[in-house]
Amino acid sequence: MILSRRSSGILLHISSLPSKYGIGDFGTGAYQFADLLIHANQHLWQLLPLTPTDQSSGNSPYSSSSLMAGNTLFISPELLRTDGLLALKDLRNCPTFPNNFVDFNSVYTYKNQLFDIAFYNFQSSNNHKNEYEQFCFDNASWLNDYALFVALKQHFHGKAWCHWGDSLRKREPTALMIATSVHSFQIEREKFLQFQFFKQWSTLKQYCNAQHLFLIGDAPIYCSHDSADVWANPELFNLDSHGQPISVAGVPPDYFSPKGQRWGNPLYNWEELKKSGYNWWIKRLEHNFNHYDAVRIDHFRGLVAYWEISAKEKTAINGRWKLAPAEDFLMTITQYFKDFPVIAEDLGTITPDVKNIMEQFNLPGMKVLQFAFGDSSENPYLPHNYNQNSVVYSGTHDNNSTRGWYDSEINKSMKKLIENYIGQKTDAKNINNEIIRLALSSVAKQAIIPLQDVLGLGEESRMNTPSTPKNNWQWRVEQSFLRKSKFKSLLEMTKLYGRA
């Protein structure tokens, strides 16, 4: 089990990789990055969710139309060409995309033109047809619903599934049969793209695994309401007879958010999930374990107790805590899977019941060094308070880069605390390496460092600023930054602290 050995790795989303096609993908840039990690004796590559994104949700990978499907923007045009689905002439008129951020509008437009050509060529040949049919058979439990969902979303000009009319909203068999027939072209196109996504991803994963580089995926705890998951399984969610949420997810008011956070995701109907032996969750985790070597479950505490907010409420203030059947759920799940390589995202205010469940099922939690300084020596994020069954991060995708944090988010007194803790002077030029040293030298079994911190980049490289609707998920690393010399310090510390 990869989480049982002392190791370290890098956090970088696929979208942030270099590529001439406007967004990182599963092509050359991904293999070159994997080679850099392997050279630096890193054994872990952590990603954000690889599920579909859309512009109406700010391109967030945590707000997806499916928890099972793949983001087709990550399909590599050069690999489609290698497979004979695109010709060199199809790629000659590639626009000049920015190389340090994703222009999602332009990428969507360009890649969909390429996908149309690739799909036409696929239909016109017999190459990979048996492999494609086997993929469709193996994934039918989610793929059929998702492909129809995508086709219907396009037909209804982006309207949510609960506004498609009663027969489709209620998934009446005749209505589904007619829709599948009418939209057969779009359905087949989406299935083809999902086949290409998982084919390319599987090949990349095999390459990494062969060199002892393991891939950590990320699983959001909740579904988006307007998703194929909820449309296909409405009985598993707390919805009314019109398909609208009765209550939604969020977190209560705290020091950082006086009104709390109202996320808006429909909550699970745990009674229905339990009746089926949590079969929906088992299939979802099985899918994840097939495609990743370990999985981080986002907002893990919601599997123990969750903040329920009436859908009528505009804020999270008037919510209430409700218990989930955590012990029964995890007992059932862990008995099904011989290996359960899960990291529990346990950031924020964590109550004893969550800690007890994590200990009972031996689940590693997260330690974030940007949260460590400023209150007391008992702060759980300070390295001297860690236990081995932990994963330490300098920061996460929701944090500023360490240099950006040091420059703009902490005051002189906190900088002095950091200096006292590490025992030497710090400044913006060395703070990233000093924080990395704290992470790698700690007793935590795993240490994960965002690439931005390895490179010492500033606030301009931030991936996401929570509660802000624009300019997130766009950052890309420039090819010129990805040199072996940039990883020399990380390599040395990895060896020194026994993570190689």
pLDDT at position 469 is 83
- Rounded mean pLDDT, 11-33: 98
Residue 432 in this model has a pLDDT that exceeds 80 = yes
pLDDT at position 399 is 96
pLDDT at position 76 is 98
Q: Tell me the per-residue pLDDT of 348-371, one tens digit each, with 9 for 90 and over.
A: 878 999 999 999 999 999 999 999
Residue 255 in this model has a pLDDT that exceeds 70 = no
Residue 104 in this model has a pLDDT that exceeds 70 = yes
Residue 12 in this model has a pLDDT that exceeds 80 = yes
pLDDT at position 256 is 64
Cα distance between residue 283 and residue 301, in whole Å? 21
Which active-site residues does the annotation give?
298, 345, 398
